[in-house]
Amino acid sequence: MAKKISLVNMKGGVGKSTLTAQFAYEFAILLDWSKRVLVIDLDPQFNVSQFLLGAATYDSEILKKKAPTTWHIFEQHTHVPGYPPPAPLKPDSVIYHAKKYSHGGLIDLIPSRLELAFSIRNPSQKEYLLSQLVAPLEKNYDVILIDCPPTESVFTTAAYLTSDYVLVPVKPEYLSSIGLPLLDNSLAEFESNYNKKPPKVAGVVFNFTSNYAPEEIRAKKEVSEECAKHGWCLLKKEVPYSKSIAKSAREGKPLRWTSYSRTKQVERLHAVAKEVAGIIGI
């Protein structure tokens, strides 16, 4: 069965989508993993879809072919007056085969689109739709990575209902670290509202670090204390800031294949992926 992990932080700009795409590449490409990875884009900003598909493919394969997206999952039972009642969505129909590698690793994607934002307007009873759709697909994958939007919504609940773990990327700065108590509150509310254990916090990972500014050192100390308070694991490895990571999104390639990316940076990202893999057992 696939290990299902959501990348969550109630703060934007901490690198959730970037890490989702980079981890997907690491798990699928590297020979010692060669995992079958499914990426689910739950963010209406559809950044991870942009990263993995690029503009031309997104336009031709998703928009022009009217391919199902996460929006279709949440709106599959919406009845439009004057149209026949909607048929339930077939799980396989929402999968886009994004990448396949020689030694068996692959990346499939359930893409997102801007209109997903409209699903928040009428969220009732929609939170179970994602986990119901994913359940029969699980046997086809080793890892399922879910990229969550920064604001708490029906999508966050849907991600919790689908996941075994949450991974929390944090930028070592004051506002970013405030996302941690918000996450704790969100998990507690989930447990109380749904009478169900929330997904386990796999860990908190520092992203975009530089180990330079005093503010960063202070924020790291505070995050470390917050993690200890909640019994969350703070990952030993961290992802330092690198211009190549931004470039890899533009080039639509994993960091290790991005032009002029430094070996040291590639190794650091790999070390984080390896630590995550160890925690979730892949």
Partner 1 sequence: MMGEKEYALMSDLAKLLRKHGPEAFESLAGLLSSPEFIEKFSAILMSTATIGRASVSSRRPLARELPRLKEVEPEKYGIIKSFMAEFEARRILPSLKDVNRFVAENNLPEIKAKSRSRSISQLVHSLFGLSSEELGKILAGLVKQGRSDSSLSEWSEIITKGMSRSSKRK
Interface contacts to partner 1, rule CB under 8 A: 29, 50, 54-59, 63, 99-104, 113-115, 118, 249-254, 256-259, 261
Query: Which 3 state secondary structure label does DSSP give 204?
Result: strand
Helix H or strand E segment including 36: strand 36-41
The Cα diameter of the chain in Å comes to 61
DSSP summary character for residue 198: P
Distance (Å, rounded) from C-alpha 261 to C-alpha 265?
A: 7
- 239 versus 249: smaller Cβ distance to partner 1: 249
Residue 125 beta carbon to partner 1: minimum distance, rounded to whole angstroms: 22
Joined tokens for residue 80: 């439009």
Tokens of 173: 């700065």
Residue whose CB is less far from partner 1, 94 or 116:
116
Hey, how many other C-beta atoms are within 10 angstroms of the C-beta on 52?
Answer: 25
Q: Measured from the CB of residue 28, what is the shortest distance to partner 1 in angstroms?
A: 10
- H-only helix segments in the chain: 16-29, 47-57, 70-74, 129-134, 154-162, 174-177, 179-194, 214-230, 243-251, 263-280
List the structure tokens of 49: 């879809």
Residue 101: CB minimum distance to partner 1, A: 5
**Measured distance CA(180)–CA(157) in Å, rounded:** 17
| Smallest gap from residue 59 Cβ to partner 1 (A) | 5
CB closer to partner 1, 71 vs 160 = 71
Residue with Cβ nearer partner 1 (51 or 232): 51
Shortest Cβ 137–partner 1 spacing (Å) = 13
